[in-house]
Amino acid sequence: MSTTKVLLVGATGETGGSIANGLLEAGTFEVYALIRPRSVAKPALTALQDRGVKVRQCDMTASEEELLEALKDIDVVISTVGPADQLEQLPLAKAAKKAGVKRFVPCGFIPVTPPGGVMWLRDQVSRDRVTFPGDCRTKEIVYNHIKQLWLPYTIIDVGWWYQFSYPRLASGKIDYAMTMSNDEIIGDGNTPSALTDLRDIGHYVAKIISDERTLNKMVFAYDVVLTQNEIYDMLEKISGEQIERKHVSAEEILDRVASARASSETYPYDPAKYVPRYIAEYQLSWGIRGDNKPEYAKYLGYLTSKELYPDFKPSNFEDYLKHVFSGSAKGIYTDRIKRFE
């Protein structure tokens, strides 16, 4: 049986790295990384090459001819570009259509939330109001561009990461693994929210891109649904420590969202200004509105991983917390957090 050739954009990032791992572990894919020429010396890329990932050097803003060469013989393109680079997927998708790519996975990989003003990370509003004077929501621009091309696609979104979902302990024992924590309980703490272990994302992707049922569909890949109170209870049981429960009301969250939006609009080119906005809007979406649930995903038209792959055994959340408490977990985004300190 011939292997599927996958071109991964953003292979050295957190999500991209998980996807690369999942594809390599599946053993049925030939994995290529699309890399900007200036990034070829990254240690993370070297590590992937040592595991068999091949590199195709090309900037996403390159000419169509260069993009076509980078896409030669590729079956599936998976994009995990950052928020500022969403529109760079437009020429890549156009070239993918011309190159005969069989499936294009644009950059989604966020918790479920509706478009149109709930979360900037869902809309990722373009600063280019000249080219996009009307609907300037860049994710929707990319998704609609793909559909206008009749390019086969799959949109994949995931639950809130395990790695961001738990609070700190007073002892500081698990601080080593944390770049962000849920030290506040939103509302009464009983809103269910879907969670996904970052390490499982790649396993889901490997299944999804091999599945004809997911072609031209949206898929929500999640491991478990828990409330904040359930997470706090679980960590208290594992650690033997009592965790302070600081509740934040819906009114406070709405005030934070309004303030963070005003601040980020005042400084649109400073990524650090967007971090408080990301956090506040996430808290609004999954903590107050309750968007990040399988039921709502299905309402929006998603297929779910539980329905598609009932035999898949995801990472157990309680086992993950035990792993964190034992001191052997890995921190994420540590390089980016340091830049904002």
Which residues are catalytic, by number? 139
Is residue 249 a contact partner of residue 188, using CB atoms and an 8 Å limit? no
Count CB atoms within 10 A of the CB of residue 31.
24
Helices assigned H by DSSP within 226-270: 228-239, 250-266
Give the span between the Cα atoms of 249 and 256, in whole angstroms: 11
Among positive and negative, which fits the CA dihedral 41, 43, 45, 51? positive
Decide: helix, strand or coil at residue 248: strand
Is residue 185 a contact partner of residue 218, using CB atoms and an 8 Å limit? no
Find the Cα–Cα–Cα–Cα dihedral 197, 200, 201, 202, rounded to 10°: 150
Give the span between the Cα atoms of 209 and 320, in whole angstroms: 26
Compute the radius of gyration of the chain from its Cα atoms.
20
Give the span between the Cα atoms of 159 and 221, in whole angstroms: 7
